[in-house]
């Protein structure tokens, strides 16, 4: 099939590349010329494991191309995907200006039937709004479909190629047939396509992200309680996770959820509820708890150093909001850095992929080490904010010889408690006994 993808961020790029992989002819459009030129030259603008192989293969096979010219991209396309930003507006509700703006531009260019697919995360009623834009600007027939994306950064290719499910929101038989054909190769292993109306599909996406954010937040609160009552969150996690109704995944406590989606989507769903005069109490609590959880390592440091952090030097392992990505949007590490700098402390950070992005944001406000061990030089303590595999089994003897003190504050529970006792570290993690 001939496909156009509007927007080449995470979702657009993964969608376009993975759709080309099953033999479709895909043209991706972006308004940033520099980015498009980079992709035309065969360079990926994001770090995403496994994407480069598919990206290069499909460019070489002439199935994947890039342009800044919207008219060229959509001319022959049967299906047009919109993978555009939906950032929080001033009041926290999703800003639909990118989506509605692009819909207007497309509506003025099309001359034959198109399926317009919304891949972005959007509030209930957006498909109707997009359809209204087309109705206003053209007499050409279109079907507007909601097809939310559930991929996770870091495992995005696998998530797209082998999705747990595909959700397609449309009441049009014609669009349903085309979308079903397009997704058939991806759901071959028996994972279902759920067809539903546009509104249910739009809400499914917000419900999924908000539920997962709630699950994490619940565990963060259990972890905090564990510390107070002397229980071990790892034991509790295993104890509840073995119940199929609860499930083992997304039960890991930490320093709050971050990233480009959970924070904005929980907020947008809560705002959408308010707009419909519904008080979504759980979501308000989730946001509140997460705000506090993002600085829990800082609070632990404050307590340990009795409020005197001025002049202290901290090594920070991990800047990305999670491993296997260079994405630092809403990364908890940034909140910790901010608190430490305000308290007059010095930070030396190391991250395998995200330092470039942090340099753009923070410049020389912090120092950047070229290895995880270099970050430890003369540090009063090590802080861990992202669970990169590289950090899971470090050379503790080497660390001991570089760190000023054998003190670790771990926001991701990377190390075994008994091991830390044997090694003689002060070790403060989340929801577990403090080793001192």
Ligand X SMILES: O=C(O)[C@H]1O[C@H](OP(=O)(O)OP(=O)(O)OC[C@H]2O[C@@H](n3ccc(=O)[nH]c3=O)[C@H](O)[C@@H]2O)[C@H](O)[C@@H](O)[C@@H]1O
Active site residues: 261
Is 55 or 409 the residue whose CB approaches ligand NAI more closely? 55
User: For residue 60, what are the CA distances in angstroms to 2, 42, 74, 210?
Assistant: 17, 9, 21, 39
- Report how far residue 393's alpha carbon sits from residue 254's, in angstroms, rounded to the nearest whole number: 18
Distance CA(95)–CA(91), nearest Å, equals: 9
- Closest chain position to ligand NAI (CB): 9
Residues 201-260 that bind ligand NAI (CB under 6 A): 260
Which residue in the shown chain puts its C-beta closest to ligand X?
Answer: 261
* CA angle at 279 for the pair 276 and 280, rounded to the nearest 5°: 105
Binding at 8: pick from ligand NAI, ligand X, none (beta carbon under 5-8 Å per type): ligand NAI
397 in helix, strand or coil? helix
Stretch that binds ligand NAI, among 96-104, 137-145, 161-169, 300-308 (CB under 6 A): 96-104
Out of ligand X, ligand NAI, none, which partner does residue 216 contact, by CB within 5 to 8 A per kind? ligand X
What are the Cα distances from residue 250, in Å, to 20, 147, 219, 420?
31, 24, 9, 25
The entry of ligand X, ligand NAI, none that residue 31 binds, CB within 5 to 8 Å by partner kind: ligand NAI
CA-CA-CA-CA torsion sign (6, 11, 13, 16): negative
**Which of 3, 4, 7, 157: binder of ligand NAI (CB under 6 A)?**
7
Residue (153 or 351) nearer to ligand X, CB:
153
Q: Judged by CB, which is closer to ligand X: 25, or 429?
A: 429
Residue 115 has φ and ψ, to the nearest 5°, of -95, 120
Q: Which residues contact residue 211 at a Cβ distance below 8 angstroms, ignoring those fewer than 6 apart?
A: none
Which is nearer to ligand NAI, 153 or 270 (by Cβ)? Answer: 153
82 near ligand NAI, rule: CB under 6 A: no
Stretch that binds ligand NAI, among 98-106, 315-323, 335-343, 394-402 (CB under 6 A): 98-106
Where does this chain bind ligand X (CB under 6 A)?
121, 149-153, 209, 212, 216, 250-252, 254, 257-259, 261-262, 321-322
Kindly report each contact of residues 52-56 with a partner whose C-beta sits within 8 Å and lies 24 or more positions away, as own/partner: 54/17, 54/18, 54/20, 54/21, 54/157, 55/13, 55/17
In the complex with ligand X, which residue's Cβ is closer, 142 or 148?
148
* Of 121, 217, 293, 386, the one binding ligand NAI by CB under 6 A: 121
Structure tokens given for 375: 């970050």
352 lies in the site for ligand NAI, by CB under 6 A: no
Task: Please report how close the Cβ of residue 152 comes to ligand X at its closest, in angstroms.
Answer: 4
Alpha carbons 233 and 213: distance in angstroms, whole number: 18
Token digits of residue 352: 């395998």
Instruction: Summarize as ranges the residues that interact with ligand NAI (CB under 6 A).
Output: 6-12, 29-32, 83-86, 98, 101-102, 120-121, 149, 151, 153, 260-261
């Amino acid at each position: 099939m001939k496909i156009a993808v509007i927007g080449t961020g995470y979702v657009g790029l993964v969608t376009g590349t993975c759709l080309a992989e099953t033999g479709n002819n895909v043209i991706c459009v972006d308004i940033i010329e520099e980015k498009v030129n980079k992709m035309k030259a065969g360079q990926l603008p994001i770090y995403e494991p496994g994407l480069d192989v598919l990206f290069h293969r499909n460019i070489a096979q002439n199935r994947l191309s890039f342009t800044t010219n919207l008219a060229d991209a959509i001319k022959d396309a049967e299906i047009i995907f919109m993978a555009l930003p939906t950032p929080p507006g001033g009041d926290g509700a999703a800003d639909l200006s990118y989506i509605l703006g692009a819909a207007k531009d497309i509506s003025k260019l099309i001359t034959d039937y198109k399926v317009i697919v919304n891949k972005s995360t959007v509030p209930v009623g957006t498909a109707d709004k997009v359809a209204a834009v087309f109705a206003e600007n053209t007499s050409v027939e279109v079907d507007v479909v909601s097809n939310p994306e559930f991929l996770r950064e870091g495992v995005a290719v696998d998530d797209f190629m082998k999705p747990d499910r595909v959700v397609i929101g449309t009441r049009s038989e014609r669009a349903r047939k085309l979308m079903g054909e397009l997704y058939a190769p991806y759901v071959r292993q028996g994972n279902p396509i759920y067809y539903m109306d546009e509104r249910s599909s739009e809400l499914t996406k917000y419900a999924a992200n908000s539920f997962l954010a709630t699950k994490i937040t619940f565990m963060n609160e259990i972890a905090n309680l564990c510390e107070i009552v002397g229980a071990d969150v790892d034991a509790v996690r295993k104890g509840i996770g073995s119940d199929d109704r609860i499930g083992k995944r997304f039960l890991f406590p930490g320093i709050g959820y971050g990233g480009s989606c959970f924070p904005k989507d929980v907020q947008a769903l809560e705002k959408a509820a308010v707009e419909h005069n519904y008080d979504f109490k759980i979501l308000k609590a989730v946001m509140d708890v997460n705000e506090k959880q993002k600085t829990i390592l800082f609070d632990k440091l404050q307590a340990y150093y009795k409020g005197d952090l001025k002049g202290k030097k901290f090594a920070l392992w991990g800047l990305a909001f999670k491993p296997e990505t260079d994405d630092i949007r809403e990364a908890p590490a940034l909140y910790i850095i901010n608190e430490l700098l305000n308290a007059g402390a010095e930070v030396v950070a190391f991250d395998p992929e995200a330092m470039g992005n942090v340099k753009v944001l923070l410049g020389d406000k912090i120092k950047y080490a070229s290895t995880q061990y270099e970050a430890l030089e003369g540090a009063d303590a090590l802080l861990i904010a992202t669970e990169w595999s590289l950090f899971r089994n470090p050379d503790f003897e080497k660390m001991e010889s570089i760190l000023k003190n054998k003190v670790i504050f771990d926001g991701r529970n990377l190390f075994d408690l008994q091991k830390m006792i044997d090694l003689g570290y002060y070790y403060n993690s989340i929801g577990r006994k403090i080793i001192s």
